[in-house]
Chains A and B, each alone.
Chain A
Amino acid sequence: MSEITAEQVAHLANLARIALTDEEIEHLTTELGQIMHAVEQVSAVATPEVPPTSHPIPMQNVFRDDVVGDSVLSVDEALSGAPESDGSRFKVSAILGEEQ
């Protein structure tokens, strides 16, 4: 369908929030091209009259009452794996950079 360029891979990496190195971008550009070439055959049989399937077993959305459940993590448990917290909240670095 289309050739993949290094610029596209760099853009995708930015969207996916992965700081790829130039070497990785170069490598992935080649590999993605090969993989996409292999998977493009889906379009050969995906004709307009075929409906798409997103889920293997047909089912309706499942609702429950909006109340606190039985197995709720405590604040300490929820924060137990956090790289950084202030004891009651997750701590992150600056949201805006200097140029913003």
Chain B
Amino acid sequence: MSDELIRLSAAALGAKIAAGEVSSVEATRAHLDRIAAVDGAVHAFLHVEGERAIETAAEIDRQRAAGAALGPLAGVPIAIKDVLVTKGMPSTSGSRILEGWIPPYDATPVTKVREAGMIPLGKTNMDEFAMGSSTEHSAYGPTHNPWDLDRIPGGSGGGSAASVAAFEAPLALGSDTGGSIRQPAHVTGTVGVKPTYGAVSRYGSIALASSLDQIGPVTRNVLDAALLHDVIAGHDPLDSTSIPETWPSMAEAVRRADVSGLRIGVIKELDGEGFQAGVRQRFHEALELLEQQGAEIVEVSAPHFEYAIAAYYLILPAEASSNLAKFDSVRFGLRASLDGGGTVEQVMSATREAGFGPEVKRRIILGTYALSAGYYDAYYGSAQKVRTLVQRDFDAAFAGVDVLASPTAPTTAFKFGEKLADPVSMYLNDIATIPANLAGVPGISVPAGLAPEDGLPVGIQFLAPAREDARLYNVGGALEQLLEARWGGPLLAQAPDLSVHELTATEEGAL
């Protein structure tokens, strides 16, 4: 029973709870049991709510018994990326500098999932302050990919993706600044969506780069992502960059998925050199399937995408160096103690030296450099111009097609340590995902299969014009249906049994 419950989709679990076939307490307990069984090997969670989650679930069960009108995900457990602040739950953003901090308020997306009756299971691991593509930059140790525990789960949101891939949670919240929702989805065989910039409130999201960050769903299938998207999207007066927009139901877009006549543009620059053969193979097979259903596939060019990474690694550190100034040892988090007390500046510098990891220091120094007098125009100013050029590429492409498609990332999951010593090669992971953040457009990654050469998951990414998030759910939902018919079920059904892996990992001392 318990194993059956954790393998249900969020939609199916919500329906069972609504029908009274299973209680929220039972569903929550099943997931907590699963976390206890496998998270030693996966390490998706930095904090688990435990009995407090059971109490929350019991409250939802009571409301239901009393006849309250509850939504489709009421009673369903959810994992929350540690970048979102949570009242009464530790929130570290993967950093030592926030170790032990219990925020006094909830981020807006957390408020919304609580209002929808969902049960927070805990906080998921991430690269420190979301800086990374592998979770290897988490101050609390990496998360392991459920498909192969020796490999990265993607990043920065590797914890959220691994938690749903390992059936520890039916769905999760993530944040995507340059691909931190979509790239983990790609390497773990799960679904991840970066909504249009401003569609979901950033209030209470510990900011990395404010003009790029966006909160979104992390799930095992497209309908679950749509249901969660419908819960968290909407204008929030507490976030001045939140868009005052009325959104159509994303869940409806999935249920009515139909790609006949849909024009799909394949981005030429993201379909060649540097992309693994098996990644490209599954990508093109997926496109063929869509074509057979009546979609029209055309090649489009985005000539400035090759400059997107460079622009991103100037804009992001610049914004991050400013955002992370708030970690000053005064209002929250760590404070280093110095002999003789020291001045406030000395304490601040010692605290930040002790509390930040190497990647965070690297990017703060890089951002400080890019913003400094004499270099500002050449670096930050030029990067902002590239941003304009990337947006123009999108505008030109979307003039002729409804959605764009590319592989989500160049390779399947790599092994721990493989790219740690070379920051530039680590940054190249995000080549296909970064342009969407620079332009604010929405993107989805959907499983496309396993690469033949290594048997690891591959994702396909679709991008739509700003505010047209529903198009992603239409094409993603349609493709998922076609692929699952071919596979005879979800891709994750082919993932290895974690209990076996857990043993192996322990025997090898990999924990």
Binding site for B on A (CB under 8 A): 1-2, 4, 8-9, 12-21, 24, 28, 31-32, 34-36, 38-47, 50-57, 59, 61-62, 64, 71, 73, 77-78, 80-84, 90, 92-97
Contact = CB atoms under 8 A, between A and B. Distances in A.
A51 B385 contact: yes
A31 B439 CA distance: 28
B344 A39 contact: no
Contacts of A90: 330-331
Contacts of B473: none
Contact of B440 (A14, A17, A56, A96): A56
Given A24-B361, A50-B389, A82-B331, A42 B307 contact: yes
Contact of A45 (B196, B342, B352, B389): B389
Given A45-B307, A83-B329, A94-B341, A4 B348 contact: no
B307 A41 contact: yes
A47 B103 CA distance: 45
A30 B350 CA distance: 23
B198 interface: yes
Interface of B: 101-105, 196-198, 211-212, 237-238, 240-241, 243, 304, 307, 309-311, 313-314, 321, 325, 328-335, 338, 341-350, 352-353, 356, 358, 361-362, 364-366, 368-369, 372, 375, 378-379, 381-389, 391, 423-424, 427, 437-441, 466
A90 to B, nearest CB: 5
Given A12-B368, A77-B104, A83-B333, A52 B349 contact: no
Contact of A53 (B321, B329, B388): B388
Given A43-B382, A53-B391, A56-B438, A93 B368 contact: no
Nearest to B425: A38
Contact of A44 (B307, B352, B375, B391): B307
A13 B353 CA distance: 10
Given A12-B369, A96-B343, A52 B388 contact: yes
Q: What does DSSP make chain A's interface, helix, strand, loop or mixed? A: loop
A52 B238 CA distance: 27
Contacts of B353: 18-21
Given A16-B321, A73-B105, A81-B104, A32 B352 contact: no
7 A-B pairs with least C-beta separation: A56-B440, A52-B384, A46-B382, A83-B335, A81-B332, A77-B104, A46-B385
A29 B167 CA distance: 43
Given A44-B307, A56-B211, A95-B343, A19 B352 contact: yes
Nearest to A27: B358
A62 B353 CA distance: 36
B102 A20 contact: no
Contacts of A2: 375
Given A1-B375, A81-B331, 4 more contacts: A41-B307, A41-B310, A57-B243, A62-B240
B387 A52 contact: yes
26 contacts: A4-B369, A17-B348, A18-B356, A24-B358, A32-B365, A32-B369, A34-B424, A35-B366, A39-B310, A43-B378, A50-B389, A51-B385, A52-B384, A57-B197, A57-B466, A61-B240, A71-B238, A73-B105, A78-B104, A83-B330, A83-B333, A92-B347, A93-B343, A93-B346, A94-B342, A97-B346
Contacts of B343: 93-97
A40 B438 contact: no
Given A12-B368, A12-B372, A55-B241, A50 B352 contact: no
Nearest to A37: B424
Contact of B388 (A34, A51, A62, A97): A51
Given A16-B368, A35-B313, A42-B307, A83 B334 contact: yes
Nearest to B198: A57
A24 B352 CA distance: 13
Nearest to A29: B365
Contact of A81 (B101, B352, B466): B101
Residue from A9, A15, A16, A64 having most chain B Cβ neighbours under 10 A = A16
Contacts of A55: 211, 241, 440
User: Which one of A14, A53, A83 has the greatest number of beta carbons of chain B within 10 Å?
Assistant: A53
A38 B352 contact: no
B427 to A, nearest CB: 8
A78 to B, nearest CB: 7
A17 B9 CA distance: 47
A96 B356 CA distance: 25
Contact of B196 (A12, A41, A57): A57
B269 to A, nearest CB: 14
A62 B362 CA distance: 33
B299 to A, nearest CB: 22
A77 B103 CA distance: 9
A90 B198 CA distance: 33
Nearest to A24: B361
Counting chain A CB atoms within 10 Å of each CB, the highest count among B309, B369, B424 belongs to B369
B360 to A, nearest CB: 9
B197 to A, nearest CB: 5
A13 B197 CA distance: 32
B310 A42 contact: yes
Contacts of B349: 14, 17-19
A17 B353 CA distance: 8
A43 B381 CA distance: 9
B384 to A, nearest CB: 3
B334 A35 contact: no
A17 B345 contact: yes
